[in-house]
Structure 1
Amino acid sequence: MKLKHVFAVVLAVVFAACEDGPKKKYNPQSIGAINSVAVVMSNSLWEGAVGDKVREHFAAPLIGLTWDEPTFDLVHLPPSVFQGTTQYRRAVLYVDLDSVTGAQIREDLYAAPQQVAVVKGDSDSALIQTLDTHAARIKQEFRRMELQESQQRFLRSLSKENVLDEKYGVNLRLPSVYKVGKQEDNFVWIDREIQKGSMNIIAYEMPADYFQSDSTLVRDIVRMRDSIGRLYVPGPDVPGKITYMGTEKAFAPAVFASEVNGFKAVEVRGIWEVVNYPMAGPFLTYIVNDTVRNRKMVLEGFTFAPATNKRDYMFELEAILRTLKIQGQE
């Protein structure tokens, strides 16, 4: 009987400890359009030099678009309004005067997923300096979250196309609205219709040693794109002329070191044009160093949408391309 009594007491203590232990906080689903940032700050700060600095960093024009479009759409909210469901915004930048100067990023503070960046300073000049110091990191975290949110939304309706898997041993998280439009020996073209044009993804592979020198990298990338375009991406029929998608000659593409799902890559942003025809638009290319198959795997997204903002189209394409998985990768 004594053993039973002791056992009962132990169980009671265990259950009590479980009930009194820390409970997982429930956060509601965050809200807001992709690439929208709620800026919480007083009207006086927003309308002055601090607000100008916020716009300078967070509404800066993106590289590689046909005209200036902001990195983020900024929605100003005075602190008195930032309550209730307005606190559920996915990306929040909170800027305020305080005796302490600094910046931090809080994750899932009021909702999930959510990033709340808090910037404080004891004067306007301190706030401006803190924004200059920390804006790049904050923007990087906002972009990372927005890419993940976009990729999560793709799961609502995924494409069953497996041509990339069969031809190249790679997989992309493609929404079902994308359809395979063209296949060749070393070329796949997938696209979707949009209101005023199309969003496109092309894929092909190149030898591992195709790019020999950093000093000629940009020129070699342009040569590669133009040769693929001439072979596989024809333009409209024009009597007496050959038309195809090439690289805009007036603007050299911007090239960055990058990484795609664990693989080293080169990221290229620029403007495509149709040679001998007045058509153009933005493109984003990832040249992935595929160490599994000893090749360069090239994935490109480009948009054709005349007289239309293209930032969000290109962002969706980037989110898709960054889901790349290669068969056999660890």
Structure 2
Amino acid sequence: MKKIGTLLLLTFTIFISCEEKQKKSYLPESIGAINSLAVVMDNELWEGKVGDHVRQHFAAPVLGLTWEEPLFTINQMPAKVFSGSILQTRSVLFIAKDTLSLAHIKSDVYATPQKIGVIKGTTDEEIIDNLNAKADEVIEAFKSVEIQESQKRFLKSLSKETALKEKLGITLSLPSIYKVGKQENNFIWIDRQIQKGSMNIIAYDIPNDYFTSDSTFVKDIVAMRDSIGKQYIPGPDVPGKTTHMMTEKAFAPYVFPVEIAGRKGAEVRGIWEINGYPMAGPFLTYIINDDQNNRKVVVEGFVFAPATEKRDNMFQLEAILKTIKFEDPK
């Protein structure tokens, strides 16, 4: 009898598992522009203090851009409008006054991939408390699914360039529109032209003991970038001046711990400028520990596009940089 019971339980588990997989296979693909967010909540909540807190979190300025651009482009609607194809929106924030008080994240409810942040409370104050407590986690979930979608879009047509593998022992999933423009020593510069400028990726390595003190870490990062800029990234020709890329002098970059490609490292966001010439733009740098090869690998994306919004360009560069893979040491 015990064996029969175990068999029945196993059969039931397999049935449920297959049913869930079948249900997921019938879900339509999610839709929406990269970094767009559907906020489903009553207009009264949206126009009051709850809406203020939603905007405070989800329309906060992206760090490290030359002017303020929001984390997400928000499309707010009441629940009765959230129907039809809108249900397939990739990132959804659902906020409601209810008899329940909760805050959680659901996956692949109406489409795949999809993340839905659900925030409820019995009063405005309770909704705000739940929102404040869960917002960072919800933002990370939304950002993750947007990165996933961005990568999915450019993986359809990849570059066959081998310079990164040959010079540095790394690979990136690069859209085919990106071309290697410079290879010198252990430095590689890859770029693509956009309507009003260019999107750029640079990669190089540094000794594993390059950073000697936590107390001077940010200062040393700036010195590293400025040294590379002076050596490899010239600015426009200006008579009587030596122009090159450097880190913007007025503000220190933002630095965060990160894990990428299974390795620990640092994420750096800030503004670059050209020494001796009025040009500037945002950059994103990953400094990744590669202890197997006794070094640190640096990959960076930066955009030059005067008088244009750059959030989505920088987001695509982030999605590319996060595809980094390391070759096994020989």
Q: Above 0.5 in TM-score?
A: yes
- Take 2:247 and 2:263, find their aligned partners in 1: how far apart are those partners? 25
Pairing 1:167–2:167 present: yes
- Take 1:114 and 1:147, find their aligned partners in 2: how far apart are those partners? 12
Letter in 2 for 1:140: E
Aligned pairs (5 A) from 1:20-35 = 22=19, 24-25=22-23, 26-35=26-35
- Take 1:268 and 1:296, find their aligned partners in 2: how far apart are those partners? 14
- Take 1:43 and 1:223, find their aligned partners in 2: how far apart are those partners? 50
Match of 1:157 in 2: 157
Match of 1:328 in 2: 328
> Cα offset for 1:18?
6.9
Letter in 2 for 1:272: W
- Take 2:193 and 2:259, find their aligned partners in 1: how far apart are those partners? 29
- Take 1:22 and 1:298, find their aligned partners in 2: how far apart are those partners? 45
Match of 2:258 in 1: 258
- Take 1:18 and 1:238, find their aligned partners in 2: how far apart are those partners? 72
Match of 1:225 in 2: 225
- Aligned to 1:211, the other structure's residue is in SS state coil
> Cα offset for 1:104?
1.1
Pairing 1:75–2:81 present: no
Aligned-pair identity in percent equals 60
- Aligned to 2:95, the other structure's residue is in SS state strand
Match of 1:5 in 2: none
Pairing 1:196–2:193 present: no
Match of 1:267 in 2: 267
- Take 2:15 and 2:72, find their aligned partners in 1: how far apart are those partners? 44
> What TM-score comes out, normalization by structure 1 length?
0.93
- Take 1:210 and 1:291, find their aligned partners in 2: how far apart are those partners? 13
> Cα offset for 1:328?
1.1
- Aligned to 1:198, the other structure's residue is in SS state strand
Match of 2:57 in 1: 57
- Aligned to 2:130, the other structure's residue is in SS state helix
> Cα offset for 1:261?
1.6
Letter in 2 for 1:70: P
Match of 2:292 in 1: 292
Deviations 1:216-237 (A, max 9, x none): 1111111111111001000001
Deviations 1:88-140 (A, max 9, x none): 00000000010111111110000000001111000111111111110010001
- Ranges of 4+ aligned residues in structure 1 off by more than 6 Å: none
| C-alpha RMSD of matched pairs (Å) | 1.6
- Take 1:87 and 1:38, find their aligned partners in 2: how far apart are those partners? 9
Letter in 2 for 1:22: E
- Aligned to 1:80, the other structure's residue is in SS state helix
Match of 2:184 in 1: 184
Aligned pairs (5 A) from 1:96-115 = 96-115=96-115
Structure 2: 5+ residue stretches without partners: 1-10
- Take 1:51 and 1:74, find their aligned partners in 2: how far apart are those partners? 11
Match of 2:279 in 1: 279
- Take 2:236 and 2:277, find their aligned partners in 1: how far apart are those partners? 8
- Take 2:248 and 2:126, find their aligned partners in 1: how far apart are those partners? 42
> What TM-score comes out, normalization by structure 2 length?
0.93
Letter in 2 for 1:186: N
- Take 2:50 and 2:236, find their aligned partners in 1: how far apart are those partners? 49
Deviations 1:264-313 (A, max 9, x none): 01111010000000000000000000122110100010000000011111
- Take 2:15 and 2:297, find their aligned partners in 1: how far apart are those partners? 51
Match of 1:236 in 2: 236
Match of 2:93 in 1: 93
Contact between 2:261 and 2:326, CA under 8 Å: does it hold in 1?
no
Letter in 1 for 2:185: D
Deviations 1:158-179 (A, max 9, x none): 0111100111110001001100
Pairing 1:129–2:126 present: no
Deviations 1:132-155 (A, max 9, x none): 110010001101111111111121
Shift in alpha-carbon separation, 1:279–1:293, aligned structure 2, 3 A: same
